[in-house]
Chain A
Amino acid sequence: MEHNNSSVIGGFVVPGLPHILLAPEKNPGWMEVRRAFDQVAEEIKNSDADVLVLYSTYWASILGHQIQARPEPEFILVDDQFHDLGSIPYKLKMDVNLAKAYCETCKEMGLKARTTDYEGFPIDSGSVVALKLLNPDNRIPAIIVSSNIYSDRAETVVLGKALQKTLEAQGKKAIAISITSLSNRLTMGDFDPANDKISNRKDEEWNQKFLEFLAEGKLEDVSQLSRQFHREARVHKVVNFKPFWWLSSVMGAHNRYEGKVWAYAPICGTGAALVGLTPSEHASRDLEFDEDDPEFYVGERNVLADDLRALDREEKGESHESI
């Protein structure tokens, strides 16, 4: 049975659009997401996490994987698209030691990776929004890893495992955060924040399916469904929908989590969900088709209920003794 990675004490999927930070009051759904961020920030503050590890779909890389390693990156961010919302001055705090070690582990595991430490480097809006809301006082250092636009599942899984390995080696407890929207099609044309809604019905249906799975702690199932989600509910700007591949690889590729949907709302037509996942010994719903231990065969699961088996025997005129 795949064991929970004890280094990762919790995980979150968070949206990264700046509206949550800069203009939550413009829409009740945005405010709901913002309040959820505030509640999660409190949880994180009260946790015993040593580090926050972020994977951001807003940070695209093409030459392998980049890991932010500047000790205190500082700048003023203005979103390329939503510049009208205002400016976001930021000063963050990175765990440089972990960033460098993660980079080395990635290389040992066959990945192309490098750290980034430049004054004025454009840290992506998703990471800035997430860290400003979840870690406003920089109480817990963080690392941020990019989303390589060409990576497929195998590479992304190894990227996640490299982080697991590094955390274990350093004995650090981490909270893993994947920064992504669910569906990502923006509303085009005239847009009134007060009347925000998901771009189209199909996007909404797929968002709801993912939320259902995540609420049940089915992280690996969501990871497996990611290719289809990409086909059905994502604008194809990159080759795959990766954030759940990374998250499940870092946290543990199974469904034994307690899931909680803290908030879900449309933001400019995209599906913005804040979801928490806590490692658990049991799946939220122990269903007969949940995974068996791949290391030791435990035998038939006898998924049919006893009374149904009895009914079957009755119909066949069989007694219990004759079986």
Chain B
Amino acid sequence: MSKGQIVAGCLAPHPPHLVYAENPPQNEARAECGWETLRWGYERLRRHLRKLDYDVLIVHSPHWRTNKGTHLLGVPELKGKSVDPIFPHLFRYNYDLKVDVELAQEIFKEAQKEELEMEMMVNPDFRVDYGTIVSCHMTDPEWSKPIVGISSQGAASYYGLEVMNSMMLKLGRATRRAVEASGKKAVLLASNSLSHRHFTVESDIPEDMSKEHITHHGQYIWDMKMIELMKKGKTKEMIELLPDFTEQTIAETDGGSLTWLMGALDFPDYPAEVHGYGTVIGTGNAVVEWDEVNRGKDFQ
């Protein structure tokens, strides 16, 4: 069997507003418009990923929060309705997805070698979290590939951000080894926003873009700093800065997804491609791709 490969790693944020504004048939709520710059960013990502060709999406989501260990979806097919508990008026999505259980089990085993606490989720009634669904839908709206879903372990609140970083880097390395052993081509999705101090009040029309902006200037500066480091290929520095960034912007990086991604990609030192940046209810979101096949050359 040939060696598997991570063909791309992506920062793939999951505000449900993006799916809402896309008006896909799976989602019950209907929008007039909204958050186009981010949705165009996802369009660009999809276009490029089609060129790369891949077999599976592996997604690490902060909205499947487990405090005891990292869990992996372990049921071959999951079907149900995901309703966002904060934005049920925007996101009520009927999903029917396939899980690459074999690869999930491989990640499980490799992560255990890193002495990480791991668990497989084998309950067929389990409801997939909206973070996983949004990131996967925006990346692959046809759901043409199976997925591997990984939970976000609450290490940041149980121990601290530095401990979280350390654990997620190990999980990333384990993911990489599992992909290589599988012989499959994988795209990894870190499903998180950057700065995450969001509005606590919603506008009457959720998709009224005249009301959309970053919550405060400091968040924006920090987001741009992190993106600058991505564009310059300085991912080690980015992860070093991550605890400060997370504290000062209440960033969703506390879930560990971005750190996991960097661990899996082994700290890429080539420029990432930023397909788009935009705010959603005040949070900063970027659609970013690290093309492991061409190592940035495709975008020059």
Contact = CB atoms under 8 A, between A and B. Distances in A.
Nearest to B29: A118
B24 interface: no
Given A62-B200, A235-B157, A87 B125 contact: yes
A270 to B, nearest CB: 10
A29 to B, nearest CB: 18
Contact of A236 (B119, B126, B129, B157): B157
B40 interface: no
B48 interface: no
Given A120-B83, A121-B88, A188 B68 contact: yes
Interface of B is mostly: loop
B96 interface: no
Nearest to B63: A80
Interface in A149-183: 150
B67 A186 contact: yes
A229 B71 CA distance: 30
A64 B201 contact: yes
Report the contact-size class of chain A (Cβ under 8 Å from the partner): 20 to 34
B297 interface: no
Indicate the size class of the contact surface on chain B: 20 to 34
B157 A121 contact: no
B92 A62 contact: no
Nearest to B80: A120
A121 B83 contact: yes
A147 B218 CA distance: 28
A63 B201 contact: yes
Given A235-B158, A236-B157, A122 B83 contact: yes
A74 B53 CA distance: 41
A81 interface: yes
Contact of B127 (A78, A112, A150): A78
A86 B122 CA distance: 10
Closest 8 CB pairs of A and B: A87-B125, A120-B81, A83-B123, A118-B88, A78-B126, A120-B83, A237-B157, A76-B125
Interface of A: 59-64, 76, 78, 80-81, 83-84, 86-87, 112, 116, 118-122, 124, 150, 185-189, 191, 235-237, 268
Interface of B: 64-69, 71, 81, 83, 85-86, 88-89, 92, 117, 119, 121-123, 125-127, 129, 151, 154, 157-158, 198-202
28 contacts: A62-B86, A62-B198, A62-B200, A63-B202, A64-B201, A76-B125, A78-B126, A80-B65, A81-B66, A81-B67, A81-B71, A83-B71, A87-B123, A112-B200, A112-B201, A118-B83, A120-B81, A120-B83, A120-B92, A121-B88, A122-B85, A150-B200, A185-B158, A186-B67, A187-B68, A189-B117, A191-B68, A235-B158
